[in-house]
Amino acid sequence: MLTHHNTTINISCNATGHFRLTQRHALLSLAVTAVALLLGVHLSPVAWATNTGTVKGNHSSECTLDWNAQTVMDENLKNDDPTYPNLMVGLDGKPVDYSNGGYVSEVSSAAFGDPGEFELQHWQDRGGKKQFWRIPIATKRPVSNLTFTWTPPEQLKNVTPVFDPVSANAKIASWGPRYAQYTWSPLPASSAVANPDGSWTVTIPQLLPGQATLFQFNYQMPSDFNMGQQFLGTGHVTGGYQDSKCQGYPTQAPQPSPALNTCEVEFLGRTVWNIFDKDITERNKYYNGSESVNNGEVNADGWGRGDTPAAFTAGAGRDMRLYGATKIALENVTWEVLPVEGAQFLPGTPQVSSPGLGQLQKNGYTNAVTGFSGDIAPSGAKGTMDSMPANSSYSFNAPIQLTGDSNYVVLFHRLKGTKPGCVPAASTTPSTPPEVTSTPTSTSPSPSSPSATPT
């Protein structure tokens, strides 16, 4: 332990063979530099991994994660290096140490507005012939089946590293806001596999929003190894995003009631909510079998998605508001909402608001319904109304619980009633069929069903 004025510095050696410092004073950065020079040790730094010449490494598409990171490690790298220029000055315009320089490309929420973090942190113990490459991977979007490929510098391909999945997961969140916004956890040691060409593959089954992991490759070089070279490391991460309409998007749609008569009106709706999205992913609205909102609508609003990993697992709760509206006066109304995928309702009795809440009144549905009743069961909500005047609406809250068997919550809505005073048109059948002289061609379309493919 060294003490300088009011600064106490503890020096310890960890399992990887390199030194770590802890401090109790704001003069740490100056003291660390002095100690490092005295001991000839190149210390593992808190990483500030963006230089003025660093380029964006995020090449993802809407549903596919594709991240690249590349770093050159050179203790003598200059900012005017002809091959790797502008990599020894930070974004604040100040020169940096080699361990905070050399970042050719990376993924960064702070520097590039990316939905995550990915970089190749690096340092070496020149005297001990040791080299360390530390890789953080963090995401703000849910992603599955991640594959990280580590291609070490050409000089290291014949040196077998030690894979360290623990690394600094326990402390990286204290390195500043960029890292503090994630929850860091180590991977199993079995996640990394060596490849015949000297590269390594690390598999990560899933990272939920706000999850992250940090691991490193530790190299012990032979005694005659030249540590004064330029070392270029490359990393690549691929995976599939799970939010929005990216994976296994539902195609099923509610089916119209068969043979509606001329006095019957039926509104159908489909609500799709990817469990990783903060708001409803898609609403489909149908009137008498065709997609339309000209005469009214039934559907749902949603909110209350949490931000912790537990918010996306079975049993997690959300709030939904179920609603219906019509421009056509109806009586003898029946309604139902069925959770057909991904969730179930919490049982209860609807506490209806009429006219409905949300945007319904702004959209002109300002009249109240009469005789509303119903029940909410885990398998669905059902009920009746005596009447819905023209331009009337209703809404009520119906909390849900995720079932954990799908990334999508899907609700089917049905609202059916008759027009007051309407008499169904009678169907007439000729007593003697007309003579058929050719194959008849239908002149009226058959009843259509809501499209099974969302638009």
Tokens 């990376």 sit on residue: 106
β-bridge partners, 231:
73
| pLDDT over 70 percentage in the chain | 83
> Which domains does the chain possess?
1-41 (no CATH), 46-241 (2.60.40.1170), 264-418 (2.60.40)
pLDDT tens for each residue of 300-341: 999 999 988 899 999 999 999 999 999 999 999 999 999 999
The pLDDT score that the predictor gives to residue 80 is: 98
The pLDDT score that the predictor gives to residue 309 is: 85
pLDDT tens for each residue of 110-153: 999 999 999 999 999 999 999 999 999 999 999 999 999 999 99
| pLDDT higher than threshold 60 for residue 428 | no
The pLDDT score that the predictor gives to residue 47 is: 60
pLDDT tens for each residue of 227-265: 999 999 999 999 999 999 999 999 999 999 998 999 999
Greater confidence, 364 or 11?
A: 364
| pLDDT higher than threshold 50 for residue 278 | yes
Q: What's the whole-model pTM score?
A: 0.80
The pLDDT score that the predictor gives to residue 210 is: 93
User: Dihedral through CA 368, CA 370, CA 374, CA 379, nearest 10?
Assistant: -50
Report the range of poorest mean pLDDT among 63-67, 84-88, 222-226, 437-441.
437-441
Instruction: Give me the chain's average pLDDT, please.
Output: 88
pLDDT tens for each residue of 156-208: 999 999 999 999 999 999 999 999 999 999 999 999 999 999 999 999 999 99
Cβ atoms of residues 364 and 391 within 8 Å: yes
The pLDDT score that the predictor gives to residue 308 is: 86
The pLDDT score that the predictor gives to residue 436 is: 30
End-to-end CA distance of the chain: 66
What is the distance between the alpha carbons of residues 192 and 218, in angstroms, rounded to a whole number? Answer: 13
| pLDDT higher than threshold 70 for residue 5 | no
What is the distance between the alpha carbons of residues 307 and 305, in angstroms, rounded to a whole number? Answer: 7
The pLDDT score that the predictor gives to residue 39 is: 40
The pLDDT score that the predictor gives to residue 46 is: 55
Element (H, E) at 338: strand 330-341
Beta-carbon-side half-sphere exposure of residue 267 (alpha carbons within 13 Å):
30
Element (H, E) at 38: helix 28-39
| pLDDT higher than threshold 80 for residue 28 | no
pLDDT tens for each residue of 366-425: 999 999 999 999 999 999 999 999 999 999 999 999 999 999 999 999 999 999 999 998
